[in-house]
Structure 1
Amino acid sequence: MHDTGHNDVSPELDRRLMAAGLRLGRRNLGQTHPNPAVGALVVRHDSDGPIVVGRGWTAPGGRPHAETMALEQAGDAARGATIYTTLEPCAHDGKTPPCTDALIAAGPERVVMAIDDPDPRVSGKGRAALEAAGIVVTDGVLAKEAARDHAGHFSLVQKGRPHVTLKLAVSADGMIGRREGERMMITSKPALTAVQAMRSTSDAVVIGIGTVLIDDPRLTVRLPGLAGLSPLRVVLDPSGRLPLDSRLVTTADKVPVMAVVGPAAPANAKAALIESGVQVVETSDGPNGLNLHEALAALGEAGMTRVLVEGGARVAASLLSEDLLDEIVLFRAPVVVGPDGVRALEGYALSAIERSPRYRQIDAAIVGDDLMRRYWRD
C-alpha cells in the first residue's frame, strides 16, 4: 500500500468503505464494456463518523463514469471530503474529459484507490495528476478484490482478449450429460438460477456448435426483470453449421448473435447467417477447425471484456489445453450419470482443474443440492 500523506482514518474504515464501492461497481457488471465497471463514494469523515454524500457506478455503455456520478451527487460537499474509487481515475481525454480534472475541481482532501489502471493512457498518470494538485492519495486498498472485479478490463488491456470464465456443471462421476437418449438436467434449480445471474454480469456467453445442435438453447437471461441484461451470444462454429431456424438465429434481432467460423465454412452458409442478422467472424485454421486465440482477440476488438463459456466438453477441453481459461466455476451435483455419460473435459480428467497448480480455489458454496467451487488462475 502506498500513502502519500497523513490521514487519521483507520485502514479498517478505508477497507470497509472501499468494499462498499466495489459492491456499487458490480451493479452494472456486463453492461459497461468496453469500460470497466467502477464504483465510487464521496465521504465526509466528521467527528460523528463517516457520512456518504455521493455514490456512483459506471453507467451502461461506460458513460458517465462512477466518479463523475458520485461528485455530481455530492455537489459542494465533495470539497475537503475523501473519495473512494475502485480503479485509478482516468487521466486522458476520451469521449468525456478525464475524471482527474473533475476530481481536482471538486477539491477533495484525499482520494483512496483500490488499484492502479494498467491502461497505458492512465497507468500512474491519474495518481500523479491528483498528487500534483495537492490531493493526498492512498492506493492498494482491497487491491486483490478490485483486480477480480476488473479482471475483464485488465485482460483486455494486457492480453488483448476478454477474461474467460468456464462454467461446468458435472455429475458426481464427472459427466456433463448422457451420450444418447433423453437430455438430463445435472444440477438443481438454484444452480441454474446462479448461472443465469452469471450470464447477466457477462459481456458475452460462448458455446460450441455441438451444444446448439443438441440443445437448441436461447442463452438469454430469463430471471424476472433482468431480460434486458442478456449478453452477446457467441457460437464457435468451424464449419458454418449454425441452423437458420435455431432459437439463437431466429432471435438475433432481439439479442445479438455472433458465429465464429473457420476456413471450412462454406461461403453460402456465411452469407445466409449474415442475411439472418448474425455477425460472422472468421479465424484461421486451428485445433478442431478454429483458432481460439484469434476468436478471443476478435471478441476483444468488439469491446467484450468478460466472457462466460457454457459448453460443451470439446470447447472446454480446447480452451483448457490452450491455456485460455482464467476462471472456472464448477457446479458438482450428487447425481450419477453412469458409463454412457459425456466426460466434462473430453480427453481430460477434472483433476486438470481441481488439482492443477495453475488454478487456485478462491470460493466454495452450497447451491441447492450442488457444491459450487470457483477456481482462479493467478
Structure 2
Amino acid sequence: MPGNRADAVWLATAARLGTRGRPESRPNPAVGAIVVQNGVVVGRGWTRAGGRPHAEAEALAMAGDAARGAALYVSLEPCAHQSVRGPSCSSLIAAAQIARVVAGVEDPDPRTAGAGLALLRAAGIDAQLLPSPEAEASLEGYLMQRRHGRPHVTLKLATSLDGCLALADGSSQWITGPVARAHVHALRARSEAILVGGGTLRADSPRLDVRLEGLEQQSPERWVLTRSSAPAGWRAIAAPTDIAHMADCQYLFVEGGAGAAASFLAADLVDRLLIYRAPIVIGGGLPCIGDLGLADLASAHGRWRSAGRRTLGSDTLEIYERTRCLQA
C-alpha cells in the first residue's frame, strides 16, 4: 500500500479509536493514537477520563521498547506544553525514540498550534501533518469549541411521516419505537450537555437521562432554553447564542421541542440534523419545527447534505450535515 494511502488508513483507525474517549475526556479532546512497527500495531491508546493520560502516553506505554524506530499515528497534533499533570506528549514521543509521527489535525490550542510537530522535528523525528477527514470528524466538538467558542450542536427531531411531533392537543408519547429510542439514548451518552425548550420542560418534565444498561452514569448535563430560572438539577440559557457560555462543552444535543428547534436553526447554530421518522401520519398535528420567520421560499435553509440513512426497527433515521463549513 503506497505511503500516503497507508498513512491515511492508520490515521482513520486512530480517529475511530479516539472516539472511545468521548465524552469522558472533557475538557480535553478525544484523541486516538497508534504505534506501528513494521506494519504491526504494537501500542494504542485514547484520551482517558478527565483528559489523562493522553492518547500518545497510553499508546507508548503499551508499546514499551517496541516503540523505538516505530511510527506513531495520532488524530491530533501531540501537545507541546508541559503541565503540573505531566510532561508534554512531544517530549514523551522523543524520549521513546519514535522514528516517525503523522498527525491528522493541527491542534488549534495556542499552546501547541504547530509547536508540537516543530519540537518533534527538532528532536530528529520525521513529523508531518497529513490532513485527515476522519480525524477532523472525530474531533469536531473540540475543534468547534477552540475555533468558534461554542459546542458542536446536534438537533434531534422525532416526527411522523408528515413532520408532526404530536397530536394537535400535544399528545406525543411515543412517536418512535424502542429501537430508535435506544439509539437516541446512545447518542445522549456521547454528549456532554442536552437541551430542551422551556415549553417542553413544562409540558413533559423529561428526564433526559441515559437508560441503557452500563451507560446510566453517562447522562449529560441538562439545560433548558428559557428566560425563567432553571429548576433544580438543570441549567438555563436565554438564547441559542448563549451556548458560548457553556464552559468547555464540546458536544450539545438539542432534543426540541418545536420552539427550541426553530430558535437554533434561525440562529444558524445547528451542525448536524437527525430526523427520526415513524411510519405514521398524524395530519393536523403540531409541527416538529416552529416558525422560522421566513419571508419567502428562497430564504429557506438550503445548506444541508444527506450524510446517511438507517432503519431502526420500524422507524427511519435521516442524517444531515451542514454543507457550508464554518471558517477555521
**Corresponding position: 1:156 with 2:145:** yes
2:226 to 199, 215, 237: 237
2:9 to 6, 16, 25: 16
Aligned residue identity for 1:292 = P
Structure 2 counterpart of 1:131: 121
Q: 1:173 to 1:152 in 2, by over 3 A?
A: same
1:348-375 per-residue CA deviation (whole Å, 9 max, x = no partner) reads: 49xx9xx844222222222222222222
Structure 2 counterpart of 1:68: 57
Q: State the TM-score, normalized to the length of structure 2.
A: 0.91
1:291 to 239, 257, 263: 239
**Corresponding position: 1:188 with 2:177:** yes
Aligned residue identity for 1:206 = L
Consecutive unaligned residues of structure 1, counting only runs of 5 or more, are: 1-7, 244-248, 261-289
Structure 2 counterpart of 1:343: 287
Structure 2 counterpart of 1:307: 252
- Counterparts of 1:325-336 in structure 2 under 5 Å? 325-336=270-281
Deviation at 1:181, TM superposition (A): 5.6
Q: How many pairs were matched up? A: 317
Aligned residue identity for 1:308 = F
Q: 1:325 to 1:41 in 2, by over 3 A?
A: same
1:40 to 33, 39, 64: 33
SS at match of 2:255: strand
Q: State how far apart, in whole Å, the 2-side matches of 1:210 and 1:191 are.
A: 23
Deviation at 1:298, TM superposition (A): 1.3
Identity, % of aligned positions = 43
Q: 1:239 to 1:224 in 2, by over 3 A?
A: same
SS at match of 1:101: helix
Q: State the TM-score, normalized to the length of structure 1.
A: 0.79
Q: Which stretch shows the higher mean deviation, 20-29 or 194-203? A: 20-29
Consecutive unaligned residues of structure 2, counting only runs of 5 or more, are: none
Q: Hey, which bits of structure 1, 4+ residues long, moved more than 6 A?
A: none
Structure 1 counterpart of 2:307: 362
SS at match of 1:23: helix
Contact 2:170-2:286 at 8 Å conserved across structures: no
Q: State how far apart, in whole Å, the 2-side matches of 1:374 and 1:87 are.
A: 26
Q: State how far apart, in whole Å, the 1-side matches of 2:66 and 2:113 are.
A: 28
Structure 2 counterpart of 1:5: none
Q: State how far apart, in whole Å, the 2-side matches of 1:356 and 1:127 are.
A: 40
Deviation at 1:312, TM superposition (A): 0.8
Contact 1:28-1:201 at 8 Å conserved across structures: no
Contact 1:178-1:184 at 8 Å conserved across structures: no
**Corresponding position: 1:106 with 2:96:** yes
Contact 1:208-1:235 at 8 Å conserved across structures: yes
Contact 1:30-1:231 at 8 Å conserved across structures: no
